[in-house]
Amino acid sequence: MIPVILSGGSGTRLWPLSRTHYPKQFLPLTSENTMLQETWLRLEGVPALSSPIAVCNEAHRFMVAEQLREIDVKPGAIILEPFGRNTAPAIALAALSTHPDEVLLVLPSDHVILQVSVFQDAVKQAERLALQNFLVTFGIVPTHPETGYGYIKRGAVAVMDDSAYPVAAFAEKPDLKTAQGYLESGDYLWNSGMFAFKAGVFLQELEKFNPQMLAICREAFNAAQRDVDFVRIPANIFTSCPSDSVDYAVMEKTDKAMVIPLDAGWNDVGSWSALWEVTAKDDRGNAIRGDVLTVDTHDSFIHSENKLVAVVGIRDLVVVETDDAVMIAPKDRVQDVKLLVEQLKNDKRPEADVHRKVYRPWGFYDEIDMGERHKTKRIEVKPGAKLSLQMHHHRAEHWVVVKGTALVTRGEEQVLVSENQSTFIPLGVTHRLENPGVIPLEMIEVQSGSYLGEDDIVRFSDHYGRQIKPL
């Protein structure tokens, strides 16, 4: 069985922690591991499991690769979508990348499952059904009349020892009264977005119900560029692919759909209140992370990344502090955080998309100060890593090494810069920064010039496959 990890979400309801360029699946929200890593780790112990296939946005490729590497996982493939087209095309690309008889276990990368052994038992059962050419989904046993999820109505007659059912119908997100009726009937389950089926059976059903989507996905996959780590789907072909969920494209139409009820502490962490539910709490119901001081505070979620956050006399609030934003909302209004993100995007504010600390395949930089004609960054480069060979039209740079050793290409020369030493990169000079050592390189960069935007980079050579301009 091959896990297919879908990592295309943006998680805007968890702003300011989750942002477009660093969404929630890459964050350690419920443990020391990120949600992407937990998606794989909760499968440990499932027999005969193959290397996973990851499907992600091209902009997130290095984060997916690095986070899997950190837990010693070498993926079978990392398929890069140039832009999102919902879950049906993403799964089709994964199915096209393997043998038709392989069973795919499709898992979103941003879910929490507290009872791992129960989940693993359901996975084994789903594999047995998939080997019989069924398309299996997992339906979460509801605990309350939730209006934020779609529902699956199970059939009346169970199979496989009364623990799996034919799918009778899929239902859209209901209003509260309808959701209450679903809960009371006992016939409805939350739609988890997790699936198991043979690759070939899924493709046959997709061809039956949406042949255009499959044809475009097949053409795009066959034309993909492949390198050591990634399968790059061409944008010029994929752009014409219909955008549809796997539910609409296949599962609602097929007569092969089965659902396994799952009661394993599942949560899609789709909001701050959902995260509060699955986070350990103090004796007053507060979920606290970071440097937080409370007085007479109850049933709140308080998260601090950098500063002391002190609260007095609050109840049922969410307070989240990051290095460049503070967000406060009542727990019953956290779904409206997406409206904040829309406003940020409309105002073209960078806080909608990026953190002050920005991760790159070679390490990260943290923008610690900025003025009208100057910007200061703290930069860390991994051992053996190097930045692109590049130049800037509008800024000069001054580099000061704080820890480690830098190999600096500056025009036609190369120099080693050690701790407490510095070098200057004039405007328009071609340059590259490398870490030839075995410890991380830490340095301070001071930029000065008339324009300091990140788009003032002309790359001539790049180790990570980013767009370059010939010398």
Mean pLDDT for 216-245 is: 94
Chain region(s) in the chain for CATH 2.60.120.10:
357-461
pLDDT of residue 469: 67
Residue 275 has pLDDT above 80, yes or no: yes
Average pLDDT over every residue of 403-431: 96
Burial 321-354 (b: 16+ CB within 10 A, else e): bbeebebebebeebbebbebbeebeeeeeebbbb
Neighbours of 422 (CB within 10 A): 13
Return the pLDDT at 147: 87
Task: Give me the CATH code for the 2-267 domain, please.
Answer: 3.90.550.10
Per-residue pLDDT at 470: 60
Of residues 114, 176, 112, the one with CA closest to residue 144 = 176
Q: What is the pLDDT of residues 356-414, one digit of tens each?
A: 888 888 999 999 998 989 999 999 999 999 999 999 999 999 999 999 999 999 999 99
pLDDT at 10: 76
Q: Where in the chain is the domain with CATH 3.90.550.10?
A: 2-267
**Does the global pTM surpass 0.85?**
yes
CATH class for the region spanning 357-461: mainly beta
Residue 309: pLDDT above 70?
Answer: yes
Q: Is the peptide bond before 3 cis (omega within 30 degrees of 0)?
A: no
Cα–Cα distance between 167 and 185 in angstroms, integer?
16
Mean pLDDT score across all residues of the chain: 93
HSE-CB at 197 with a 13 A cutoff on CA atoms is 28
User: What are the φ/ψ torsions at residue 449 (nearest 5 degrees)?
Assistant: 160, 180
What's the start-to-end Cα distance of the chain, in Å? 46
